[in-house]
Chain A
């Protein structure tokens, strides 16, 4: 192989290609900003207090809902006759989703993908009944669903669970009538929004003596449900559908190109190919299936796909800088085994995050109300996995920066000895340096853009307005922009780092040159520590020629 496409591309062609990719990037950003709505929609629902007069409280066919035929008898907690005919088991907080708007009963669309529920409790201060800052609330939660064609009372049980949650409340003014500031309580996460309507019934049971006795006087319970916006899903999926065939085509082209060569593919090319496959997996628009099937594992799967992509990207960077080390001892074809220490950091991080995800979202497949953060043990476990992942990320970046630093040292060393080299070797080294610098630059720009975009999004909550007439949906623009950027980054890598068909500009007539250039491509000369040794090896090389 005589270098990659990148070195052999004329600067005009390169400029055209890069500007084309930049235009694609701008389009991705603008599609997110101008076409797509905000990524997620929020509905805040106030719980209606229903009176359960039935004897059997565990009957899951009996549902309490707010609208439609057979709606429940609602009571006002403020005016409840204390201690008479009501007990805690008779009180049901009913949340019917979605809430009506514009005089219509909207239903969830499958484009809206997922549903996350968060509870907020309004707890009133009573001097006789102070809430401790850390108390535990036990919630008997039942989730039901109904579809459009069903009768209005035909709610069917989706999942039921008795859960405990931590409730952190504090209060500034300890006077009757004031409310505690309580933290939000994450309640459930549904990976698929398959049905049209959902109904949540919540009871706060007092089965044992200590249960729910220290949570004070609950005045209201608010449920905030977050779902992905249908428009955002559509835009996102169209991006995926556009990128997916491009990546697949490019991968086939890349693979063919490598196999046209006489030699076996080198490690870097294999890594690049693996990265392409990871991107393929990430881009595969399997979300279309959710429009027809109930696939609750979608949240988990998208986590896994993203994780796989990040792992291969991180490994690629490591291997890339390792393979561009100009001074290397061994001459054999390098394999992944050489990088096991560095890659184990990536692997460790990914595995710990995967285990954490399986513990949280994996179990949520069976019980959407499950949360690992509730129990002491679970919290410690989750934290240890996350810390482990953090440590391995830190280690990874230390490794990476060390390697990049080494490469730069190498490069500056080589630069000094360059004028004394033969044109073949100089071109070869220049090629390597150019390739490396190009990728470094591109990577740094992409990473910086991602980080800056993320920070900007955190700082400027919500919408950005440059002009009164142009409303730019910044969060969506950020997501589509970053997504498009990494896609384009990898597309560019696949295109530019594919082996070139062009011949070496000088001494290209003999097959020896081919062999030589192939040999020195990634497996470098023997160690050249000093000017003299480089000169000696320089002398030995032409002898080979």
Chain B
């Protein structure tokens, strides 16, 4: 039975592979799920019943559909994660020439546009942040209990294939004996399975995608903070229990943005599949297809250090984002607002690429002096302020 499944899966992988573009990795279409309707419509909480929007269906690879089928509730989490990633990307790149704009077309096209066809820094960031988004959102959904199939991995016991009655009894035993592991473990593993589908790690571009996806997940893991509680005799610290707290996604985005600024340009090692990279492996007991993560990328400049597990890597320099470039799906910076006093990338000189800018003075009415009351009351005044807006020509 299992063999048959694998065989079918293999066939699907083959036929899916034939149609897609050779250059970029093939595991990026699922981003479209972010725009595919309201997350609430994606999957009802009750298991067994599954309703999948045709638009969603189209964006997913077959393995991803299977994963969504096997883990009810996961699609909503993935959609939430993708949305979170897009929002975070747009926040981080608000003041840059490339502002992480997305497009609304779904079928056959990419959410972030054709920029992902190039293996540049921006693409690296997109891959990392989306993979981090899925990890984060799935871990969160596990904590909320909206995904019921999160694993209860207990390291002493090898996982039996689930859904059988014996396995169910074994799971209960594991839970009663040693409890269940943290939510982040499932988020990490699921993200690997879901996001990395189709990135076989054969070509350099696929390796880049894999590396950046992994880097995104690593950042979710390393941004976690430890909390402890003492509960020994009379509440003393003779017994202390610690756990990891899921980071806010903003801090993950900040960390990834730092890595974006220091991303390393790579090329393939001469010898393929060198010594395994030291990784903080979340699933040490899972053997299948693990070796696709075992590669070492070589820096483009031999004087540089080779990239670490948390570094973002790219293959080619970024295109100029100044002018509209339909071939790469770049809208250009025409009409973007800029800051005339800044000398950074949000300054008008850099943002408008020397084309100059238009300055307008306008009156805007906005909410101000807000006071916030738990839970749902915000009292604001309406202020009329004069604003000077600079817009690139």
B-contacting residues of A (Cβ < 8 Å)? 37-46, 48, 66-67, 77, 80-84, 86-88, 91, 96, 98-106, 109, 111-112, 116, 118, 120, 122, 126, 128-129, 177-179, 184, 186, 189, 204, 206, 212-213, 215-218, 222, 224, 226-227, 229-232, 234, 302-303, 306-307, 353, 356-357, 360-361, 454, 458, 461-462, 471, 479
Contact = CB atoms under 8 A, between A and B. Distances in A.
Contacts of B183: 44
Interface residues of B, number: 57
Nearest to A173: B254
Main secondary structure on B side of the interface with A: mixed
A84 B377 CA distance: 8
A106 B154 contact: no
Interface stretch (B11-19, B54-62, B241-249): B241-249
Contact of A40 (B144, B155, B226, B231): B231
Contacts of A230: 176-178
20 contacts: A37-B154, A41-B180, A42-B182, A42-B241, A44-B243, A80-B375, A82-B378, A88-B373, A88-B376, A96-B145, A101-B171, A111-B176, A118-B227, A129-B371, A178-B250, A189-B231, A224-B227, A229-B178, A458-B240, A462-B242
Contacts of B369: 128
A40 B241 contact: yes
Given A37-B154, A357-B234, A126 B373 contact: no
B178 A212 contact: no
A109 B375 contact: no
Given A44-B245, A213-B374, 4 more contacts: A84-B376, A88-B376, A99-B142, A128-B371
Contact of B179 (A38, A66, A84, A353): A38
B393 interface: no
A181 to B, nearest CB: 8
A96 B91 CA distance: 34
Contact of A37 (B148, B177, B240): B177
Given A44-B183, A226-B241, A101 B175 contact: yes
Interface string B352-385: 0000000000000000011111111110000000
Given A37-B154, A48-B144, A66-B145, A104 B370 contact: no
Contacts of A302: 233
Given A83-B377, A230-B176, A46 B47 contact: no
B345 interface: no
A218 B145 contact: no
B150 interface: yes
B328 interface: no
Contacts of A217: 372, 374
Given A103-B149, A186-B229, A206-B374, A222 B47 contact: no
Contacts of A177: 91, 250
Given A206-B374, A226-B231, A102 B179 contact: no
Contacts of B241: 39-40, 42, 226
B162 interface: yes
Given A67-B145, A101-B150, A360 B235 contact: yes
Given A38-B179, A40-B239, A230-B177, A116 B231 contact: yes
Interface string B224-238: 001101010111001
A218 B179 CA distance: 30
B177 A104 contact: no
A327 B152 CA distance: 65
B175 A120 contact: no
B179 A120 contact: no
Contact of A86 (B47, B175, B227, B375): B375
A222 B245 contact: yes
A123 to B, nearest CB: 10
A303 B233 contact: yes
Interface in B143-160: 143-145, 148-152, 154-156
Contacts of B242: 42, 461-462
A87 B248 contact: no
B143 A222 contact: yes
A216 B372 contact: yes
Contacts of A357: 234
B55 to A, nearest CB: 22
B389 interface: no
Contacts of A40: 179, 231, 239, 241
A263 B314 CA distance: 89
B392 to A, nearest CB: 25
A422 to B, nearest CB: 50
Contact of B143 (A45, A189, A307): A45
Contact of B375 (A46, A67, A112, A218): A218
Nearest to B40: A76
B8 interface: no
B145 A99 contact: yes
A353 B168 CA distance: 45
B149 A102 contact: yes
A262 B239 CA distance: 47
A471 B155 contact: yes
Contacts of A224: 227, 229, 243
B336 interface: no
B163 interface: yes
Centre residue among A102, A306, A307, A353 by max chain B CB count within 10 A: A102
Contacts of B152: 101-102, 106
Contacts of A43: 179-180
Given A44-B182, A116-B231, A178 B177 contact: no
Contacts of B45: 67
Contacts of B142: 99
B114 interface: no
Contacts of B373: 88, 206, 213
Centre residue among B151, B178, B235, B371 by max chain A CB count within 10 A: B235
A116 B241 CA distance: 11
Given A99-B145, A186-B229, A226-B229, A86 B376 contact: yes
Contacts of A44: 143, 182-183, 243, 245-246
